[in-house]
Structure 1
Amino acid sequence: MTSTIHLPTADGDWTEIPLREPRRWKEHPQPYASRVAFAAAHVAADPLGDNTPGAPATVDWDSTLAFRRELFRYGLGVAEAMDTAQRNMGLDWAAVRELIRRSAEQARDFGARIASGAGTDHRDDIADLDGVVAAYEEQVGFVEGCGSQVIVMASRHLARLARSADDYRRVYDTILGQVAEPVILHWLGEAFDPNLAGYWGSTDVPTATETFLGLVRAHAAKIDGVKVSLLSAEHERGLRAALPDGVRLYTGDDFNYPELIRGDGEHHSDALLGAFSAIAPAASAALAALDEDDLATYDEELAPTLPLSRHVFAAPTFYYKTGIAFLAWLAGHQPGFSMVGGLQSARSVPHLARTFALANEARLLPDPELAAHRMRLWLEAAGAVR
């Protein structure tokens, strides 16, 4: 008999769903020929640590690193210490340094690709653009010293201090003029971080895009690619067509990634996605099909994942990390559902119940009975009983 689980719904009712048979996903530890793909990985919190809001992060290193090895099994690189890992939302600089060091060392051991975020978030005393530059220089130097590719993250300090597009150019011109190897530039939209509104000197997206493109064109030899997280497929298609030859566009659009990675016959996006950490086996199956130019299978593999991703990243989008960690716990990748900064409380019971249902529908629960057991325990602890 097929097992079932009762889940609460957003309208205050309950629904009963059957647990789907687990799928035996094929491993693919090698990278893909047709696309470069990174998964932005989360951190697992130590369930016995003092991970209360404002406290220094206490990380479960065994689970955190094991999760990255799970991503390597499916041919995905790791985008490390990004917003998925709670940068600017609980993960402090001491934990960031340790995370990048450990993860880069492990990636070398596995021959896997890693790129790590460098920003300015370790400083709370930055008062001018020179301070922004100095903070970037420190983090870029640390990431390079660990043997990881650099992702130049957007800076809240720069967003606060810049008075014009020229101020952005001054900072980025300096940093890109110093990097040892080509970097990934990250344009993170305000849906993911409201503090970054007006980045590149304008709240008008076309104007900001021209500033961004000017920077990329001036430093194309130092830029491997750009990672854009504006959740606009139309904008991304236009931007990637305008990029200089050899500069990749790594989609950060967790709402539209299937069509953007698939491409339009002339241009395509590569991937640097938080969603890929939640759907790694399905992403692997789709990318493997794309390598064989099997577009029908590519579409078929990703179609069930899109409702899950769009739900996990629903507004307020910056709390998507809660769903990512919840799915990792349901899948057995970590012993508990706790997050640094207490962020496990950032999504409602009906929201996470729907997350379970969509992951089950996409057959992304490797042990459905374990997942259901954990879901029932969590619902009971939350007081959600029928």
Structure 2
Amino acid sequence: MKTLTTIELPAPSGRRRTLELAEPAALETLIAPPRSRIAYAAGHVVADPLRSSAGSPAAIDWDATLRLRHSLWNLGLGVAESMDTAQRGMGLGPAAALGLAQRTLAEAKSVGGSVVVGIATDQLDAAPHSLEEITDAYIEQLGEIEAAGGSVVVMASRHLARNAHGSDDYLSVYGKVLDAAKRPVILHWLGSMFDPALEGYWGAPTIAEATETVLALIREKREKVAGIKISLLDKDHEVGFRRRLPAGVRLFTGDDFNYADLIAGDEQGYSDALLGAFAAVPRFASAAFAKLDNGDVTGFRAILEPTVPLSRLIFEAPTQYYKVGVVWLSYLTGCQSHFRMIAGLESGRSILHLADLFDTANSIGLFPEPDLAAARAAAYFQGQGL
């Protein structure tokens, strides 16, 4: 392949802009989990490029998907499986999510990798459902994952959001699910910017009122709650919430806009990590934690903070389409052989957005082989007639 030093990217004017390719960032990564924080990357799934299409059942390239999990474990990162980054609720149905979780858990045992698995109520149809039915759906998935040897993340339920009539209904459902859990779980508070169907979650009209409901649940069931992932993209709220948690309950940041600050922490504490962003920048995350393990907060920030503008671009509104950016960068970095997604979700972002992602990723040296990244991006844009 001819050595490339520049690439021409589509521009808003309809013309092209020329970008110089940057050298890959020099990073010293971990080979074992970090000691300073708990860190999970929410992994995406690699579609079967020959069979994936909008409206079809999830067609997954299992070998490529599991190779991605191994690459995360090899960097010392844990895997958060079958969650929204894996297109849960946007192409990945409950049967495929369970199969993905079972395969990942089996692979994890072979290498000692860390895994947590999302559970939801997505086996239910869109009709109205009683709280008992929603509770049973959660508990069914809980039992399946625990039977496979996994620990769970209790994801937000669209069915509960539609059918609950107030905070007491949430407390009732979640209380019964936690009582059924055989090992402590991680709760997930996912904001409506990630999933508009979750507007008003926890049965409260404001974040402040919802906060009191969630804290009441955690305090009552603290022995069953290992932590909570908060994905509200609100740094100040997360810090305030973290300071009110009972001792021993961890805050896992899901803030893809402010994770560097939140993980670094302050004099009163820090957040651990469970992030879709880490699926896009896993080498940077690993190298940053290597610095933090040695007490080098400045070095940690120097590596991780430059990734935040890229993450903010990946997760810009409409935020639920952030998965497209994760897969695009996986393709450009050589982690997978194509840019296709289950359910045809690659159409969820514009060509200009993809070009901006290339530019921003290039600026931090994300691409281990800049020539490969440029050749793949140029060929893709050319295939779109650009």
Decide which moves more: 3-12 or 33-42: 3-12
Shift of 1:52: 2.0
Q: 2:281 is aligned with what amino acid?
A: I
Q: Secondary structure at the match of 2:230?
A: strand
Q: Which whole-Å deviations, capped at 9, do the CAs of 1:194-218 have from their partners, x for residues lacking one?
A: 0000000012000000000000111
Equivalent position of 1:159 in the other structure:
161
Shift of 1:130: 0.7
Task: Please show how residues 287-366 of structure 1 align to structure 2 within 5 Å.
Answer: 287-366=289-368
Shift of 1:27: 3.6
TM-score where L is the length of structure 2: 0.97
2:276 matched to 1:281? no
Cα distance in 2 for residues equivalent to 1:147 and 1:94:
18
Cα distance in 1 for residues equivalent to 2:325 and 2:230:
21
Equivalent position of 1:221 in the other structure:
223
Decide which moves more: 10-19 or 289-298: 10-19
Cα distance in 2 for residues equivalent to 1:161 and 1:181:
28
Shift of 1:13: 4.2
Contact kept in structure 2, 1:88 and 1:121, CA below 8 Å: yes
Contact kept in structure 1, 2:25 and 2:364, CA below 8 Å: no
Cα distance in 2 for residues equivalent to 1:251 and 1:27:
21
Equivalent position of 1:143 in the other structure:
145
Cα distance in 1 for residues equivalent to 2:14 and 2:271:
40
Equivalent position of 2:123 in the other structure:
122
Q: Which whole-Å deviations, capped at 9, do the CAs of 1:117-170 have from their partners, x for residues lacking one?
A: 000011105521111011001111111111111000000000000001000001
Equivalent position of 2:79 in the other structure:
78
Q: Which whole-Å deviations, capped at 9, do the CAs of 1:10-46 have from their partners, x for residues lacking one?
A: 4544321111122353341211111000000000000
Q: 1:174 is aligned with what amino acid?
A: K
Q: Which whole-Å deviations, capped at 9, do the CAs of 1:343-371 have from their partners, x for residues lacking one?
A: 00000001001111111111111111111
Q: Which whole-Å deviations, capped at 9, do the CAs of 1:314-353 have from their partners, x for residues lacking one?
A: 0000000000011111111111110011000000001001
Q: 1:77 is aligned with what amino acid?
A: G
Q: 2:236 is aligned with what amino acid?
A: E
| Runs of 4+, deviation exceeding 4 Å | none
After superposition, the Cα gap between the structure-2 partners of 1:11 and 1:250, relative to the gap in structure 1 and judged at 3 Å, is: farther
Contact kept in structure 1, 2:42 and 2:83, CA below 8 Å: yes
- What is the total number of aligned residue pairs between the two structures? 383
Contact kept in structure 2, 1:10 and 1:351, CA below 8 Å: no
Equivalent position of 2:93 in the other structure:
92
Cα distance in 2 for residues equivalent to 1:233 and 1:93:
32
Cα distance in 1 for residues equivalent to 2:356 and 2:90:
24
Q: Which of residues 13, 30, 33 is equivalent to 1:31?
A: 33
Cα distance in 1 for residues equivalent to 2:25 and 2:323:
25
Contact kept in structure 1, 2:128 and 2:163, CA below 8 Å: no
Q: Secondary structure at the match of 2:180?
A: coil
Cα distance in 1 for residues equivalent to 2:216 and 2:257:
27
Q: Which whole-Å deviations, capped at 9, do the CAs of 1:88-123 have from their partners, x for residues lacking one?
A: 100012211110011011111111110000000111
Equivalent position of 1:376 in the other structure:
378
Contact kept in structure 2, 1:237 and 1:260, CA below 8 Å: yes
Equivalent position of 2:252 in the other structure:
250
TM-score where L is the length of structure 1: 0.97
Give the unaligned 5+ runs of structure 1: none
Cα distance in 2 for residues equivalent to 1:78 and 1:123:
26
Q: Secondary structure at the match of 1:177?
A: helix
Task: Please show how residues 267-278 of structure 1 align to structure 2 within 5 Å.
Answer: 267-278=269-280
Cα distance in 1 for residues equivalent to 2:31 and 2:188:
26
Q: 2:348 is aligned with what amino acid?
A: A
Q: 1:4 is aligned with what amino acid?
A: T
Q: Secondary structure at the match of 1:215?
A: helix
Q: CA RMSD in A?
A: 1.2
Cα distance in 2 for residues equivalent to 1:303 and 1:27:
16
Cα distance in 2 for residues equivalent to 1:90 and 1:122:
13
Equivalent position of 1:238 in the other structure:
240
Q: 2:107 is aligned with what amino acid?
A: Q
Q: Secondary structure at the match of 1:296?
A: helix
2:214 matched to 1:212? yes
Equivalent position of 1:16 in the other structure:
18
Contact kept in structure 1, 2:4 and 2:371, CA below 8 Å: no
Cα distance in 2 for residues equivalent to 1:114 and 1:361:
32
Equivalent position of 1:66 in the other structure:
67
